[in-house]
Homo-oligomer: A and B are copies of this chain.
Amino acid sequence: MSHIRSRFNAPAAKPVVEYTSSLPFDKRLYRHDIAGSIAHTKMLAKQAIIPQQDANTIIKYLTSIAGEIEQGKFEFKAELEDIHMAIESRLFELTGEIAGKLHTARSRNDQVALDMRLFTKEAISETVVRLRFLQQSLVELAEENKDVVMPGYTHLQTAQPVLFAHHLLAYFEMFQRDAERFGEALKRTDVMPLGSGALAGVAYDIDRDFVARELGFSQISRNSMDAVSDRDFVIEYLAAASICMMHLSRLAEEVIIWSSAEFGFIELDDAYATGSSIMPQKKNPDVAELARGRVGRTYGNLIALLTTMKALPLSYNRDLQEDKEALFDSVDTLLPSLEVFSGMISSLKIKKENMERAASRDYILATDLADYLVSRGETFRNAHGITARLVSYAAETGKALNRLSLSEYKRFSPLFNKDALAISKSSSVAARNIAGGTAPQQVEKAIDRAKEMIGKSNKGGF
């Protein structure tokens, strides 16, 4: 750092050193930083901006510094304010003066933008892989329980019978949209910023496309001032992660409710449950609760960076340093959440009888009766009213709908006929035989399609 402060008469105050240092967290970017420096150095030599021999030396020692860090032998000195200076400073120790050529035609402003883009690209790839595993767990569980009927809920009130598999596949769709979103964020992340310099571009005859190719980027940035002050790609990850964690929180909520004694629809595998320090009988869905709770931090990280970016004038401002911990924390929240959910879903024990018992009660077939009347010529609104009165009557007399006699039915509409009594949760489910509906035939198709999409993505598409 000392060389950066050469203009100053006094060292930074100690609390300032601590306050401004990003080394405690940006050291995590060391691989990306070194990869970027190596590509940059190769280019400098190729363009004859520095001698090839110096470039070779620099690259050799950068590689060995990477090794030192990986092996835990590297000393991160608190007074070096960031990972860039920490590495450059070590390079000086190893090569002497030659190290001074590395930072030619580069600024920390474009360098850190590069590191963050390399990191975010990796994070996106890993996120999508884990989304696919979770989708697979859902599809497998759906397929194994293809014929289990459960109550579908609206307002957490019993609504209509649905296939358990259909319910699971709703989450497949959510995670599918998530994967798409991450894929699109990738496009705007996959842009190589080096060459933007501090803000205005650099005054050297560099080859930006070469660096982009070396590092696997498909584009280069198009405006240097934008490139050093843009963090949209980080915000996009944070926003996509927030939506994805929100989906997980919904699934978590259902796992928690279904695990309650009162619902009793599922039982967690012991490996995915925790106990109590005081109540010996407890089997708690802590994994689901933590995922539900952790959606908070992904929202928080999103708001944090959006707030930081508000009203920042161009170009680079130190405020931008705040992009890192927000991103790291959301990545470190989302990735393990996806992982543990895959395992939790795969190992779920389904209590089929409880689901089916619940799907048999509470006038769950009232809509089917209304539809029946429509099929016999009633308007839907009348049919709805008739059935509502029938339900009131049944509730008052304390009977289930299938305990009423045909004559009781007919008291509410002459259109009721014997076949009305044959309506069952199976017939109800089977009747919803349209694209996207819960009929077994449709769900079968949806499972096939889902498997196909997962297969495709394994071959590299989103």
Contact = CB atoms under 8 A, between A and B. Distances in A.
A216 interface: no
Contacts of A156: 256-257, 259-260, 285, 313, 317
Contact of A272 (B16, B195, B273, B312): B16
A386 to B, nearest CB: 8
B379 A98 contact: yes
Contact of A7 (B159, B283, B292): B283
A24 to B, nearest CB: 11
A294 B368 CA distance: 33
Interface stretch (A26-34, A67-75, A115-123, A426-434): A426-434
A280 B391 contact: yes
A23 interface: no
Interface in A274-305: 274-287, 289-290, 292-297, 299-305
Most buried by B among A257, A260, A392: A260
B366 A281 contact: yes
Contact of A297 (B161, B252, B325): B325
A314 B391 contact: no
Contact of A154 (B204, B230, B284, B436): B284
Nearest to A99: B381
B336 A19 contact: yes
Contacts of A316: 154-155
Interface in A92-143: 97-104, 106-109
Contacts of A104: 374, 379-380
Interface in A313-344: 313-322, 325-326, 336-337, 339-340, 343
Contacts of A429: 200
